[in-house]
Amino acid sequence: MKTRSFVKSLIAVAVVLPFVVSGKVKDPVVMTVGGNDVRLSEFEYLYKKNANHKSDTVSLDKYVDMFVNYKLKVRAAIDEDMDTLPDVRRDIEQFRVELAAPYMRDSIIDDSLARLIYSHKLVDVEARGIVLTGDKRALADSLHAVLAAGGDFAALAKRYSDDKSSKNNGGYFGYVYQGKLPTMIEDVLYETPVGEITPVMGSHEMGWCIMKVLKRRPNPGEVKARHIFKMTMDKSGDEVKRKKHEIDSIYSLIKKGVPFADLAPLSDEPSGKKNGGELPWFGVGRMVPQFERAAFALKPGEISAPIKSPFGYHIIMCDDKRPVGSYESMKEALLKEVLDGDRASKAVETCLDHHLAQIGFATDSVALNKLYSIIQSNGGFNEASRKAIGEAMVTVYSTDGKPMVTSTELAEAMGQNDVVDAEAAISVMNKVLESLKYGKAKESFISDLARKSARYNYLFNEYSDGILLCEISNEKVWNRANTDAAGLEDCFRRNRKMFKWDRPHYRGYLIAAKDDSLAQAAHQYLTENNFDEKDYSTELRKRFLNDVKIEKVIVGKGDNAVVDYLVFGAPKPKIKARWKGYLTFGGVVLDQPEKATDIKGAVSQKYQQELEERWIKELRSNYDVKVNRAVVNKLRK
């Protein structure tokens, strides 16, 4: 059975422009199929695409005939309301949005975001931070006011921060590198001057953060190193002393000239024993601070004395160093980071903001303040404020003077979950409004795109038609050709001369067992009991558990070494698999197929061909088809 999942893979992006004559678009009707006109531009797009994807190019006349059949099937699917099926509608809608996604990106915006990321990669920022989990915005604001007035950041971090890793160090984060923090926080941190404090950052969902920039330094790049390691973490005092002695002994050998790689197998790190202690390239923040400082302090070829980290003792050898690459050398990876990361939504929003400006987007501040007042007067978002917002009958956002997002839509979108704090509820409401705004903007953008872009329409129509083609072809041909036992048998009888074997086949059952005695026992068990064929497998499993299995086979001579041995007198094969014992059961040797199931694949293919031909004949009879040959002939030139 074929599915519609392959349709999307058949659609390749291609730029196709309509015919232009004397400065005016000319796109004549090339054919009318079942009352639906097909324009030359659409036909030409699909014809040329078909020619590009096939090594044996179909002639124009033959393609016209194929195209008519294709459109007839799509028309039939629509007439049978297949375009209203929930799965079909969902798949088409999903593709409509996916297809529009590349149009919602701007190369200039993407490049600027990639350059922003690159600028962050060039610098590491030393910082302190106070992290507050949960709904602590009021506390965050109070702490920020104290800090702005000259409060001791380290003391406040020790007292209030919820970040266990930095709390006891006065909120000391060390040097922060690009990609370590959420994008929203990273961008603000990198914009904050040395010595200054960031605004309160975060949300009621993710918590709140205040940071202070201590220093900036150029990113030192990356180090390629290897190490010999002795584990001391969770060891007793005596074991730690023994490990210290071992690492010192190894270092003595290094100083005497023993190659580092020869001593690496003495490392406690399993991978180090296999590759000379080699580590992948790493930059700032990827290793524990003690290891990082020692590695970056070395020059290529230098070896450190033993250093102590929370994990144990290390001897480090620096193989190489490299600076941060140029923007051009990293551009592809940076653009991928934009596309795959948090900034992807920002790029889309920037594009949609531009679209909103073009369609006269406006915010009604009076309406918005009215909704804020409702939440504040009701102490949050609850049943009372939900009802009041829904009945406020105000428009928050509009485009060209027409309602875009109303208070009724807002109340519905906020759902049934209460938010007990008014400030938190307003924050949630603003996020819901933003979501509604950009959701409506995306719908407007796609509708506008469908009016303006021929390429978008060609690809969308091709996919949606392909989905319908799959649905109706599966019903009329594919599924029936595989499941209609009576039809298959009739097809076999009518075309018996074309279904031939060039060698004999065994049709029957093959018993496989863990050894020959179990195979014999299973054969005897089936022989002595009058089981129905459909119960063979179940009954053997009951009797022999998983030590025996049985399968129905139709195998040609020379296709299976075990069957060749058991049936056709071939030498006994050497079997290395789990199953050591084999026997046939209830089978016969056939010189030629006797029924459709003996050669089902070939019969099914023939039956499918017959069903297709009958269906096309029926469609041609039920629908009018008119082809404008004069327009078709334009493509011959």
| Residue 149: CATH number of its domain | 3.10.50.40
- Domain range for 207 is 123-218
Give the pLDDT confidence score for residue 284 in this predicted structure.
Answer: 85
Same domain? For 237 and 191 the reply is: no
Q: Which amino acid is at 380?
A: G
Same domain? For 127 and 150 the reply is: yes
Same domain? For 213 and 231 the reply is: no
Same domain? For 214 and 259 the reply is: no
Same domain? For 199 and 244 the reply is: no
Between 166-175, 202-211, 481-490, 593-602, the lowest mean confidence (pLDDT) is in 202-211
Same domain? For 517 and 552 the reply is: yes
Residue 135 lies in a domain: yes
Same domain? For 202 and 133 the reply is: yes
- 3-state helix vs strand vs coil in the chain, percent to 5: 55, 20, 25
Give the pLDDT confidence score for residue 10 in this predicted structure.
Answer: 40
The pLDDT tens digits of the residues spanning 130-188 come to 999 877 888 999 999 999 999 999 999 999 999 988 899 999 998 889 988 888 899 99
Look at phi and psi of residue 119 and say left if phi exceeds 0, alpha if psi is from -120 to 50, else beta. alpha
Residue 145 lies in a domain: yes
Give the pLDDT confidence score for residue 1 in this predicted structure.
Answer: 44
Same domain? For 570 and 554 the reply is: yes
Between 271-280, 398-407, 627-636, the lowest mean confidence (pLDDT) is in 271-280
516, pLDDT greater than 70: yes
Between 90-104, 336-350, 360-374, the lowest mean confidence (pLDDT) is in 336-350
Residue 620 lies in a domain: no
- Taking alpha carbons only, the member of 613, 590, 593 closest to residue 601 is 593
Same domain? For 159 and 227 the reply is: no
Give the pLDDT confidence score for residue 56 in this predicted structure.
Answer: 53
The pLDDT tens digits of the residues spanning 76-115 come to 999 999 999 999 999 999 999 999 988 888 888 889 889 9
Residue 637 lies in a domain: no
For 119, 181, 202, 461, the CA distances from 214, given in Å and listed in that order, are: 18, 17, 21, 57
Which of 169, 193, 218 terminates a domain? The answer is 218
What's the pLDDT band for 11 if we cut at 50, 70, 90?
very low
Between 11-20, 54-63, 488-497, 606-615, the lowest mean confidence (pLDDT) is in 11-20
Residue 441 burial (CB count, 10 A): 24
Tokens of 187: 């961008």
424, pLDDT greater than 90: no
The pLDDT tens digits of the residues spanning 226-281 come to 999 999 998 999 999 999 999 999 999 999 999 998 999 999 988 767 788 899 99
Same domain? For 191 and 259 the reply is: no
Residue 21 lies in a domain: no
Which of 409, 430, 451 terminates a domain? The answer is 430
What's the pLDDT band for 54 if we cut at 50, 70, 90?
low
Between 9-18, 32-41, 276-285, the lowest mean confidence (pLDDT) is in 9-18
Which of 322, 350, 379 terminates a domain? The answer is 322
Same domain? For 158 and 232 the reply is: no
Give the number of domains in the chain.
4
Residue 32 lies in a domain: no
Give the pLDDT confidence score for residue 102 in this predicted structure.
Answer: 87
Interatomic CA distance for residues 282 and 290, integer angstroms: 14
Residue 597 lies in a domain: no
Residue 149 lies in a domain: yes
Same domain? For 197 and 265 the reply is: no
- Taking alpha carbons only, the member of 195, 186, 240 closest to residue 216 is 195
Over residues 362-369, the mean pLDDT reads 96
